[in-house]
A and B are shown apart, each in its own frame.
Chain A
Amino acid sequence: MELLVSDAQFDSGSRWLLFHAVAVFAFLYLPIAVLILYSFNGEGVGGFPPHHLTLDWYRLLFADAPIWDSVLNSLQVAFAAMVISLTFGVPAALALERAQFPGKALFRRLVLLPLILPGIITGLSLLMLFNVTGTELSLMTIILGHGTALISVATTEVFAGLQKLDRAQEEASLDLGANYWQTFWRITVPNLKLPIIGAALLIFTLSMDEIAVSFFLIGRDNTLPLEIWGRLRRGITPEINAVSTIIFLFSLIAIVFWYRLRMRSERTTDAGAEIVAVVEGDPA
């Protein structure tokens, strides 16, 4: 491939592109770096250069009961939302790929809309529903909001996985005497393991971070982002940097976990293909 030049052979155009790429990465990562750096700053969130590096803000954070309550709430919400989204999102993907029914196009658009719709519209419309039905706002209403909005994530991920799935796999299972239910659990789900785990991780992380929908559906108990939001309105201290740094670390762990999972599965299939090629004497 002519265009895949090595670093030594960059022409002027690609040098400009490289410079641009470095600048964009700096733009994307600098705020995060600043955030982490100032979580160790003894003198508050601003001020250059940082002074008196300290772990005090973390100590303060670990003793901060309302934050930890909100973390627990967020974990509950994220877990429940994940269960709801997968319970309805996986069948929705199957329905979109395999069934024909009147209103299918509308159904598809409706399911996927929250993916791109600003959270405020989803949040407010649900607020009106709960208001009309007399449902008291609580963590439960947030769970319903997240669960519903994030069905879109489960459906897109699983739908993409289904399109890669060889239909003959399921046919072979039916052919061998397994009914639809057995086929679903023994063949369909194991083959979609990766998209389902990916969707679950993504839903969990998105729900942990979600604020626009929660903003309108919140009852007495805060989620973590809303707790942080409340504090931001009251004035900022590096304690918020500290909690943000910890959130960042956990997001990073989730990504690395997901990435390794995917790499492992891809590598094994690649290795398999290589071995087949060797055995069959295929030059490719």
Chain B
Amino acid sequence: MFSRAYKAAVTLPPLIWVTAFLLMPYLLMFCYSFWSVSAAQTIEHSWNLSNYGQLLRVDVYWQTLLRSMWIAARVTIFSLLLGYPLAYFLSFYAGRKKDLLYQLVIIPLWVSYLVRAYAWKTILGSDGVLNTLLQYVRLTKHPLEFLLYSPFAVVLTLTHIYTPFAFLPIYAALEHIPRNLVEASHDLGATPGQTFWKVIFPLSIPGVVAGATFAFVLSLGDFLAPLLLGGPSGIMISNIVVSLFGAAYNWPLGAAISFCMLLLVVSLLFFSERLEKKWSFS
């Protein structure tokens, strides 16, 4: 029913904009990753693979990448462990309070990322709220130093930030399960536990995959929480990129790392999309 002119009018402007400000920059990043920096600190537009070679050769790069993935994996697991039972409770047990509780999970999402990371810094510091509280109630004599400037602090903060992200798609998936399936399962003699593992959980897997993807990808690329709370042992891959684009002044190497991250993210998205499709039956 829509004329060719209509379709062109709605397609072309966003297409042109997105090409100019998303596609071009990504391609440019790809180009940069083959260039190099001269001794005089100028970009040399000579094409070679030395940046990628360096990534493979120098331990600190891939070790940091692995550590980042390990941190992201822990964040993902904790977010799911917190988010799934919460979503299940809201969807099946909360009754009329469901909508209110749902809004309560969403509200922290609207609160500034920086504000929340900062709040954890004030809680975890050596003279922060938690340490002084523990000393106040005489559980400890000296501040616990591992709380701040550690991977623990980064995982805790990112879990706090990404739990609502993990919760949302799981909750949506649970809400879409027709309730008569649950009734049918009970009718056929399954206990609530069996019903959960045989009916509810399998049908919620697309939500779990989407939630896990969100939590993993977004925490993998984070550089602010490590800067603020991570200390030297909590450095993540993006922090290296930041320094390469800043003081270390090696944009091409930074671009190579960024491009690897982009590829990693896109392939993860592709993979999770396949997984979601496989597990959705409607």
Q: Which residues of A approach B to under 8 Å, CB–CB?
A: 1-6, 10-11, 13-14, 17-18, 20-21, 24-25, 27-29, 31-32, 34-35, 38, 45-49, 87-89, 91-92, 94-95, 98-101, 107, 110-111, 113-114, 116-122, 124-129, 132, 144, 148, 151, 167, 170-171, 174, 180, 205, 208-209, 211-212, 215-216, 225, 228-229, 232, 236, 240-241, 244, 247-248, 251-252, 254-255, 259
Contact of A1 among B9, B179, B262 (CB under 8 A): B179
Expressed in whole angstroms, the Cα–Cα distance for A8 and B114 within the complex equals: 41
A118 and B245 contact, CB distance less than 8 A: no
When distances are taken between beta carbons in the complex, the residues of chain A under 8 Å from B83 are: 24
Nearest opposing residue in chain A for B27, CB measure: A125
For the complex formed, measure the closest distance between the CB of B22 and the CB atoms of chain A, giving whole angstroms: 5
When distances are taken between beta carbons in the complex, the residues of chain A under 8 Å from B118 are: 35, 228, 232, 236, 240, 244
Nearest opposing residue in chain B for A243, CB measure: B115
Contact of A205 among B95, B110, B224 (CB under 8 A): B110
- B105 at interface (Cβ–Cβ under 8 A)? yes
B21 and A144 contact, CB distance less than 8 A: yes
- B37 at interface (Cβ–Cβ under 8 A)? no
A128 and B32 contact, CB distance less than 8 A: yes
Cβ < 8 Å to A, chain B residues 109-166: 110-116, 118-123, 125, 127-129, 131-133, 135-136, 160, 163-164
B218 and A116 contact, CB distance less than 8 A: yes
B115 and A129 contact, CB distance less than 8 A: no
A125 and B26 contact, CB distance less than 8 A: yes
A88 and B129 contact, CB distance less than 8 A: no
Chain B 214-227, CB-CB to A under 8 Å as 1, else 0, gives: 10011011111000
B14 and A48 contact, CB distance less than 8 A: no
When distances are taken between beta carbons in the complex, the residues of chain B under 8 Å from A6 are: 95
Contact of A118 among B1, B13, B220 (CB under 8 A): B220
Would you call the interface of chain A mostly helix, strand, loop, or mixed?
helix
A48 and B129 contact, CB distance less than 8 A: yes
- B206 at interface (Cβ–Cβ under 8 A)? no
B1 and A35 contact, CB distance less than 8 A: no
Given A91-B10, A116-B218; A229-B114 close (CB under 8 Å): yes
Expressed in whole angstroms, the Cα–Cα distance for A38 and B222 within the complex equals: 27
B133 and A124 contact, CB distance less than 8 A: no
For the complex formed, measure the closest distance between the CB of A267 and the CB atoms of chain B, giving whole angstroms: 12
Expressed in whole angstroms, the Cα–Cα distance for A244 and B214 within the complex equals: 25
When distances are taken between beta carbons in the complex, the residues of chain B under 8 Å from A92 are: 10, 14, 18
Closest 7 A-B residue pairs measured CB to CB? A118-B221, A125-B25, A92-B14, A99-B7, A31-B119, A48-B132, A48-B133
- B77 at interface (Cβ–Cβ under 8 A)? no
Chain B 256-282, CB-CB to A under 8 Å as 1, else 0, gives: 001001100110010000000000000
Question: Apart from A92-B10, A148-B22, A180-B9, what 19 extra A-B contacts exist at CB < 8 Å?
Answer: A17-B93, A21-B85, A21-B89, A21-B101, A27-B160, A28-B105, A88-B13, A91-B10, A95-B11, A101-B7, A110-B18, A113-B266, A116-B217, A118-B238, A126-B25, A148-B18, A205-B110, A212-B222, A236-B118
B122 and A20 contact, CB distance less than 8 A: no
Contact of B22 among A29, A46, A110, A170 (CB under 8 A): A110
Contact of A28 among B1, B131, B160 (CB under 8 A): B160
B193 and A46 contact, CB distance less than 8 A: no
Expressed in whole angstroms, the Cα–Cα distance for A48 and B133 within the complex equals: 5
B28 and A128 contact, CB distance less than 8 A: yes
- B171 at interface (Cβ–Cβ under 8 A)? no
- B213 at interface (Cβ–Cβ under 8 A)? yes
Expressed in whole angstroms, the Cα–Cα distance for A151 and B14 within the complex equals: 9
A17 and B89 contact, CB distance less than 8 A: yes
When distances are taken between beta carbons in the complex, the residues of chain A under 8 Å from B241 are: 120, 124
Expressed in whole angstroms, the Cα–Cα distance for A180 and B14 within the complex equals: 18
For the complex formed, measure the closest distance between the CB of B228 and the CB atoms of chain A, giving whole angstroms: 7
- B2 at interface (Cβ–Cβ under 8 A)? yes
Nearest opposing residue in chain B for A208, CB measure: B112
B224 and A212 contact, CB distance less than 8 A: yes
- Can you spell out 13 A-B residue pairs with CB atoms less than 8 angstroms apart? A4-B93, A17-B88, A24-B86, A34-B123, A46-B132, A99-B10, A118-B238, A124-B255, A125-B26, A211-B113, A241-B122, A244-B112, A251-B107
Expressed in whole angstroms, the Cα–Cα distance for A10 and B186 within the complex equals: 18
